[in-house]
Amino acid sequence: MPGTHYDNDHSFIEDLSFDLKVVANRMIRDDSLEMLLLNLRSLHGKAFESFYIEGITQADKERVIHACIIAKITSFDKTLYLISDHQQFLIETLYSSLRALLQRYFDDRPLTEENILRYIKISHPRTYEWIHRTDEESKRKLAIHKRRDNNRRYFRYKADLKYHFIRIGSHEGIEELQGDIYSSGIQHFTEIVNEKLDLLMRNYQKNIHDALANSFPSAYQLFLVVMERVEYLRHVLNGVSVGHLPLEDAKTALRETLDNEIDCSSLHGNIRTESILRDFDEKIQQISRNTLILIENSTPHRLYEGPVLEKLKIDRDIKAYKEKKKSNNSSLLMSFIDLYHYALLLEKIYNNISASNYIIIFPEYWSSDYHDASPGGFSLYSQFLVEVNDILELFLQVNISSDPEKPVYEILHQRSKVIRINARQDLGAYQISCQFINATEHNMGILRKALQSQEIVDAFNSAGFIDEQD
């Protein structure tokens, strides 16, 4: 295989003609088991589109896909986190592809399981060995040997997994100079974050102007005060993030904010509006108060570590406001929702700055938003940025249960190196791809089995639709 070599049974792929082998190489590299079975049903696939082969027949396509299915299945560990139905499905799928490819060698002889095993023991021994292998004999499978310009060594997939990371050092061991306050080196106010905050603030300004500027000018001024408070809080957190901030000025301003409650007299006794605004102000005050504590207790060499901020009344009520928005075009209501999302993002930044180490012991705060994983690396989504070659400590919570109703989680701790970062404007995040450093056999095994198990479950769950006739 040009640029790749699989440690599983790709002998059926090697039996193909050169042109078909090229297609199979791409297909086994890119497609999951579920996608291979969908390809088989439609006799189509992206790999066939990528390489034009003149005169290719349906029988050729079937051979390619069946060969890839066998290569895929023999890449799996024998003992995975699967119920018996999933295991039986996998074996039946393997034998189905074996029958399809071996039919021409058997003439009128029946393709019984016994006859198939007798034949592949000689002609395709790796598949035979896989069928009889125990889990103790399993090795890392579907490993792709490195070639020039090809860093992929394992098939990538997604499973029931959550993660948290902390940055532990700069790239290439460069010494980092600290400023007014300790900085972890994570960039919180990235281009993507700032664009989102700016958009929310523009929407907030427009909505309060439309709702209040002409009809209730004094109330409009009150909402401008709220805007100034959150904008200054953004400025302070940005300074804390990068480690450069006039500390005494920030302390004074935050104390003034905390000592001066908002004056709601301009709302003319509208209890509903006042109640919601005070709920929002409680959240802003909470972030401001804890930011002040952080600043007061941090030094250029040590950052204060506080707990994750507790959820407040507005966090529970916001869902109802969003539902109400669907049938209510109130500009003031929309401004409240914009303000909430603005404050929520500031809260997330505060938590990441102050409580990142605290979060390690509480997986309920970890993220499940990631691109894919393999036994050799992890690709996550984050609104916050690190740099290529930075070293991260990754904490992974992996579901190792075969029962979908009773998850069992194992925590993996893995040091990683950032090898690539891509801005994903469509997702409002950065895709940060990491390579594991000296991964243990235990960590690789747990992750490999979890990913393979999920790949099989996904294929099983599609089977009811795959085998339907058009």
Q: Which tens digit of pLDDT belongs to each residue from 298-334?
A: 988 888 888 899 999 999 999 999 999 888 889 999 9
Least confident among 263-272, 382-391, 459-468? 459-468
Phi and psi at residue 201, to the nearest 5°: -70, -40
Instruction: Give the C-alpha separation, 12 to 424, whole Å.
Output: 38
Instruction: Give the C-alpha separation, 288 to 293, whole Å.
Output: 9
What's the alpha-carbon Rg for the chain, to the nearest Å? Answer: 29
In the block, tokens 């889990």 appear at: 135
pLDDT of residue 358: 87
**29 and 4 Cβ atoms separated by less than 8 Å:** yes
Closest CA to 186 of 195, 196, 176: 176
Q: Are strands 429-436 and 370-374 parallel, antiparallel or unpaired?
A: unpaired
CA dist 396 to 166, 247, 351, 415, Å? 12, 36, 19, 11
Residue 252 pLDDT exceeds 90: yes
DSSP-derived letter for residue 384 is: S
**345 and 193 Cβ atoms separated by less than 8 Å:** yes
Instruction: Give the C-alpha separation, 227 to 229, whole Å.
Output: 5
> How many other C-beta atoms can be found within 10 angstroms of the C-beta atom of residue 57?
10
Instruction: Give the C-alpha separation, 363 to 164, whole Å.
Output: 8
pLDDT of residue 5: 41
CA dist 369 to 168, 191, 204, 284, 372, Å? 21, 19, 28, 26, 9
pLDDT of residue 437: 95
Q: Provide, rounded to the nearest whole percent, the portion of the chain with pLDDT above 90.
A: 75
Instruction: Give the C-alpha separation, 222 to 260, whole Å.
Output: 13
User: What order do you get walking across the sheet with 377-382 strand by strand?
Assistant: 161-169, 391-399, 409-424, 429-436, 377-382, 370-374
**236 and 245 Cβ atoms separated by less than 8 Å:** yes
pLDDT of residue 3: 32
Tell me if residue 433 falls in helix, strand or coil: strand
Q: Higher-confidence residue: 120 or 105?
A: 120
What is the value of pTM for the model shown? 0.87
Residue 70 pLDDT exceeds 70: yes
Residue 347 pLDDT exceeds 90: yes
Our CA angle for 368, 372, 378, nearest 5°, is: 90
Phi and psi at residue 351, to the nearest 5°: -60, -40
Residue range 51-75: mean pLDDT, rounded: 93
Least confident among 126-140, 193-207, 237-251, 302-316? 126-140
Residue range 113-139: mean pLDDT, rounded: 85
Q: Which tens digit of pLDDT belongs to each residue from 255-297?
A: 999 998 888 888 877 898 999 999 999 999 999 999 999 999 9
